[in-house]
Amino acid sequence: MYSVDHVVEEVANAIWKHAVLRGAIDAGKALELYRALKMLLGDVVIIEPQEEYMDEAMRIALEDRITFYDALYIAQALSKGGLLTADEGQARVAEKLGVKVYRA
């Protein structure tokens, strides 16, 4: 599985948000999830620099009116062949561009 390096910040921030802002998990669980994220990097998820996909992502973001963040993953998926997402808007744009989408 491939992802752009931005995924690390996105997932770590989601863990923080669930702990600090929503109170859905305690700090111990947040640290456990963060450690699990770090274990996935390199072994399961191959991280690529986002710079490789930024130009295409900006084009997609502007043309399809989606966030640059979401467009980064679509730009990478165009070269890798598939996109795993739970975001229906992102999935629609990816499919429109010919990307095979796997819904989470």
* pLDDT tens-digit series, residues 22-73: 999 999 999 999 999 999 987 899 999 999 999 999 999 999 999 999 999 9
50 within 8 A of 7, measured Cβ to Cβ: no
Question: What proportions of the chain, in percent to the nearest 5, are helix, strand and coil?
Answer: 65, 15, 20
- The phi and psi torsions of 32 (rounded to 5 degrees) equal -65, -45
Please tell me whether residue 39 adopts helix, strand or coil conformation: helix
Instruction: State how far the Cα of 57 lies from the Cα of 75, in Å rounded to an integer.
Output: 5
The residues spanned by each domain of the chain are 2-47, 50-103
